[in-house]
Chain A
Amino acid sequence: MSTGTVLPNEAPEHCPGVNSESAGKASACAGCPNQNICSEPKGPDPGIQLVKERLSEVTNKILVLSGKGGVGKSTVTALLSRTLAADDSERNVAVLDIDICGPSQPRVLGVADEQVHQSGSGWSPVYVEDNLSVMSIGFLLGSPDDAIIWRGPKKNGMIRQFLSEVDWGKLDFLLIDTPPGTSDEHLSAVTYLSKAGLSGAIIVTTPQEVALLDVRKEIDFCRKVNVEILGVIENMSSFICPNCDKSSEIFPVTTGGARKMCEDLRVPFLGSLPLDPRIARCCDEGRDFITELPDSPALKASSEIVKRVLESCKQQKQ
């Protein structure tokens, strides 16, 4: 056996070594439990290149992240994408929902009953407005009761398909809505987008410590995998009682809230969104809150946030 070949433990006799050209293909490999792993192509995942090609006409690619669940990632994604699309009819915006186990975008954007069509150039996303499209695993399920009980590798494959096979056309913004945590979906998205030029991540949190605790971990994740943090949005900051118009805290700030966390960890703070139950109801029913609730304080706050996001995307490009 020549030097330099790497042999696994309990390798079969005449094993060609896991790094060799004939790994998995030599006659000695027949019957070896590692044969499948060895015969896979070497080098970086070919998906990375496919994603780069597919998304070459997408100017800004933004991840919406949060370590914590239920803080409003999907609502904020919908809010930002609808605001971006409504501001300028020439601007093309799309949302990709990579929450495989709990997809919310079809409902929040009001296209829950739509189906995805396949064409020669890939999957066609579902159009919410002329310049706002969305893709989610929710469109591929037969019934809302269907559960996706998948371990990591299958989720990885699905995300790769979403990133490399959806025919978005020319886009100014692609917002990627993620599940909570710092695990498979996040690693897969970041890996596949590594050559495609990810603009950065927007992190969503609520004000209370139990959420901030998980969000700090997400910031650590971004730093570990070298994803630029465009900023943090604090959602559900205050609640204005529809009866007496007075403000109260549903999720009380005990440790300075998101603003203090941003100062401590030196990341930009993009703004606070008040809790408007009418927006929550619109999201439940999939109605367009921009036309229905033009006076909502949450929409005013979100257009300020969008301005800051546009600003930091511009800076990124320079």
Chain B
Amino acid sequence: MLDDVKHIILVLSGKGGVGKSTVSTQLALTMKEKGHKVGLLDIDLCGPSVPYLLQLESHDVHQADGGWVPVYTDESQSLAVMSIGFLLNDRNTAVVWRGPKKTAMVKQFLTDVCWGNLDYLIIDTPPGTSDEHITVMENLKSVKLDGAIIVTTPQQVSTEDVRKEITFCKKTGIPILGIIENMSGFVCPHCSDCTNIFSKGGGESLSEMNKIPFLGTLPIDPRIGQLLGKACVKELPDSTSAKVFCEIVKQISETT
């Protein structure tokens, strides 16, 4: 199923709520704006955020002869999305599954979706280093997994968990494409003073310590969270975030 996919990129973080899904969706949208054909696979089974962030919650996945047909964001069909969110009838229902069922679902997502021709497949993951991650790693090792992008916020409570994720990648032989530091500083809309709510520089020092490329620093910009399906590079082209996303996509296309 992944034969016609040129590049596969994992978005990982040991820590939850650091912005993995926001980064994944914006990366996918940025790549789409640059003219690439992109797929976005959400393997966070207990807390799928991608359908909401792309405003695709009411869409259904269809079964075809070849497998599951992903949901496309628009008629150009240049961004294909798959998430367990599309398979649930009610958005409030909990998926209360232990490991083996999650493993089976993730496997199905990796083997049964008709992505077609893709330049990039981005895989958004849940926090941690457990069933979902082990399954993806085992199933993609033989395929061309280009590597992982690691997202963190600057404070130590977060980088401490992210260090564990880096160890996971090293132990399992997943190359790390780089680290993104999200929620770096908040510019007060009243006085334009920048406060580092969650400290600063944690991601950068993590990358130096582990000799991993540093991809960029994203500030806290409440507008980004409200874009809901629109590309930051198109809607807010002058924002710092848009520039950082462009830069990251450029770096990815050079290294992969």
Contacts and interface: CB of A to CB of B under 8 A. Distances in A.
A254 B126 CA distance: 24
B94 A220 contact: yes
B175 interface: no
Contacts of B102: 183
B21 A210 contact: yes
A34 to B, nearest CB: 16
A169 interface: no
B155 A248 contact: no
Interface string A69-85: 11100110000000000
B70 interface: no
Interface stretch (A150-158, A297-305, A307-315): A150-158
Given A145-B167, A208-B225, A243 B94 contact: no
Contact of B191 (A149, A225, A243, A252): A243
Contacts of B166: 145
Contact of A149 (B156, B168, B199): B168
A108 B157 contact: yes
Contacts of A217: 46-47, 92-95
Nearest to A249: B222
Contact of A179 (B49, B128, B165): B128
Contacts of B191: 241, 243-244, 246
A211 interface: yes
A181 B164 contact: no
A68 interface: yes
Interface residues of B, number: 63
A104 interface: yes
A251 interface: yes
A67 B14 contact: no
A180 B47 contact: yes
Contacts of B98: 152, 183-184, 187
Interface stretch (B28-36, B73-81, B110-118, B129-137): B129-137
Contacts of A210: 21-22, 49, 52-53, 225
Interface size range on A against B = 35 or more
Interface in B89-119: 91-100, 102-103
A221 B94 contact: yes
A220 B93 CA distance: 6
B198 interface: yes
Interface string A213-227: 110111111001100
A52 interface: no
Contacts of A246: 188, 190-191
A250 B222 contact: yes
Interface in B14-57: 14-18, 21-22, 45-47, 49, 52-53
B226 interface: yes
A251 B22 CA distance: 13
Nearest to B47: A214
B158 interface: yes
Contacts of A220: 92-94
Contacts of B226: 252, 254
Tell me which of A101, A150, A184, A251 has the highest count of chain B C-beta atoms within 10 A of its own C-beta.
A101
Interface stretch (A15-23, A115-123, A160-168, A279-287): A279-287
A284 B156 contact: yes
B38 to A, nearest CB: 21
Nearest to B168: A147
Contact of A144 (B17, B160, B190): B160
The 4 closest A-B pairs by CB, nearest first: A69-B16, A70-B17, A152-B99, A243-B193
21 contacts: A107-B156, A144-B163, A144-B164, A145-B163, A149-B168, A152-B99, A152-B130, A180-B47, A181-B47, A182-B95, A210-B53, A213-B47, A213-B52, A214-B49, A217-B92, A219-B92, A224-B94, A224-B96, A244-B188, A248-B189, A254-B226
Given A67-B47, A145-B164, 14 more contacts: A70-B15, A71-B16, A74-B157, A144-B163, A147-B168, A149-B130, A150-B129, A151-B131, A210-B49, A210-B225, A214-B46, A217-B95, A281-B199, A284-B199
